[in-house]
Amino acid sequence: MNENRFAHGGDCFGKQVAIDFSVNTNPLAEPWPEPLWEAGKRALQNAHHYPDNECRKLRAAIADWEGMKPEQILCGNGASELLMAIVRAYLPKCTGVVVPGFLGYDWALGSLEDCEIRRYFLDEAKDFVLDEKFLYFLSEEMEIVILASPNNPTGQRIEETFLFEILKKCRELSIIPVLDLCFIPLMGGGRFPQWKKNALEICPDTILIHAFTKTLSMPGIRLGYLIMRNEEKTLKLQRQLPEWNVSMVAQEMGAAACSFLKETDFLEQSREYIAEQRRWMSDALREMDIRVYSSDANYFLLQTKEPLFEALLEKGILIRNCTNFWGLGAGYYRVAVKSEAENRQLVECIRSIITM
């Protein structure tokens, strides 16, 4: 871990960046679909009012989209704020995380004065796939375990049957499972609304975290939500948030997004496009003897001896340098799937660097 261990993708400030491959957003959502633009304009026209601090319209739209009850949903200023609310509400003394994994988990847990973070290191030889050994990693001392499907930065999903085994073990050990599903809408196989209900049935303490950031390329709007079965515990988490934590623009655009996604085949188109482009990019890079790890997401992890980060930045292309991820180091990079033209430009730039 280097000294800038909490750096994230998207840090294009102060750099000359023409194409940002360090942020994993939906390429088909740039520019935004018209309903989102119109919702943003409506919100700005009413921005002289306070936003609804209960997010009633937004929670109703999300509930309709997810097949849940509004009372089971809590909205936040991105998934990051909700992660912070979770750790502040439960104040765990021992938490389990999978590494390499999203650095935001360390950021949230590190805000606690006394919390042991136990890390489960994924096996590179197995393409960083979470395996059954993880069940033995779980223990009675753990109060929370945080998992992502698909995982970031490796892009691997947790197979449904295995995830249910994890949830059963968490229930037996009284561990609260926090499932980060921010990338799942863009993954092949869909949103799995029934799967989510099954997860909440298997372990009623499960917390599901989502965000509009990736699905509709809205990182600057800052909008996330979580789903919990227990409505009283949802209120407990809400007490860890400011009264007006979700802006009027975010609420209006989020409600419009739910309707748009429900009424169109936009997500299916996005998943097909991303899978096709990811496959092409992976094959092209492997032909250059670059190791590309298998991925189910709209991004993938690669490893090469060539110092790609600085060389690409000189060409105006930003990728995610993974040196500050636990379990990784120099030579690992995360690359997003973008438009076909941008993807081809990236591949050609890498080819030119390697063949110099």
Q: For the chain, list the strands marked E by DSSP.
A: 19-20, 73-76, 94-99, 116-121, 144-148, 176-180, 207-211, 224-228, 291-292, 299-303, 317-318, 320-321, 332-336
pLDDT of residue 5: 52
Tens digits of per-residue pLDDT, 48-62?
Answer: 999 999 999 999 999
Which residue intervals of the chain bear CATH 3.90.1150.10?
19-25+266-354
Q: Name which of 114, 185, 156, 176 is nearest 293 in CA terms.
A: 156
- CA-CA distance, 106 to 270, in Å (whole number)? 31
According to the model, what pLDDT value does residue 3 have?
39
User: Closest Cα partner for 67 from 190, 216, 251?
Assistant: 190
**pLDDT for the residue numbered 294:** 95
User: Span 152-179, mean pLDDT?
Assistant: 96
Interval 234-268: pLDDT, tens: 999 999 999 999 999 999 999 999 999 999 999 99
Between 297 and 10, name the one with better pLDDT: 297
Supply the pLDDT for residue 6: 44
Q: Average pLDDT in the 156-178 region?
A: 96
Q: Residue 9 above 70 pLDDT?
A: no
Choose between 124 and 192: higher pLDDT: 124
Q: What is the dihedral of CA 29, 30, 34, 38, to 10 degrees?
A: 110
Q: Return the pLDDT at 13.
A: 58
Q: Which pLDDT belongs to residue 4?
A: 55
- How distant is the alpha carbon of residue 151 from its chain centre? 8
What distances in angstroms separate CA 339 from CA 187, 267, 314, one per listed residue?
17, 16, 21
Maximum pairwise Cα distance, the chain: 61
**Residue 114's CB: how many other CB atoms inside 10 A?**
8
User: Does the pLDDT at position 189 exceed 80?
Assistant: no
Contact 83, 97 (CB under 8 A): no
- Percentage above 90 pLDDT, the chain: 90
Q: Is the pLDDT of residue 102 over 80?
A: yes
**pLDDT above 70: percentage of residues in the chain:** 94
CB 181 within 8 A of CB 149: yes
- Per residue in 211-237, pLDDT (tens digit) is 998 999 999 999 999 999 998 999 999
Residues of the chain with CATH 3.40.640.10: 34-263
Nearest to 100 by CA among 279, 334, 275: 334
Q: Which fold has domain 34-263?
A: Aspartate Aminotransferase; domain 2 (3.40.640)
**pLDDT for 322:** 95
pLDDT given at position 356: 66
Q: Residue 70 contacts by C-beta under 8 Å, 6 or more apart in sequence?
A: 56, 59, 60, 62, 63
Tokens of 92: 């765990």
**Banded pLDDT at 14 (limits 50, 70, 90):** low
Are 342 and 28 a contacting pair, CB within 8 Å?
A: no
Strand 144-148, strand 176-180: pairing: parallel
Residue 188 has pLDDT above 50, yes or no: yes
Amino acid at 4: N
- Provide the whole-model pTM: 0.93
Among residues 243, 234, 242, 244, the alpha carbon closest in space to that of 86 is found at 234
* Greater pLDDT, 16 or 3: 16
Q: DSSP string covering 157-207, please?
A: PPPHHHHHHHHHHHHHHT-EEEEE-TTGGGSTT---HHHHHHHHHH-TT-E
Q: Which CATH number fits domain 19-25+266-354: 3.40.309.10, 2.130.10.10, 3.90.1150.10, 3.60.70.12?
A: 3.90.1150.10
Q: Judge whether residue 80 has pLDDT over 80.
A: yes
Question: CA 231, CA 70: separation in Å to the nearest integer?
Answer: 9
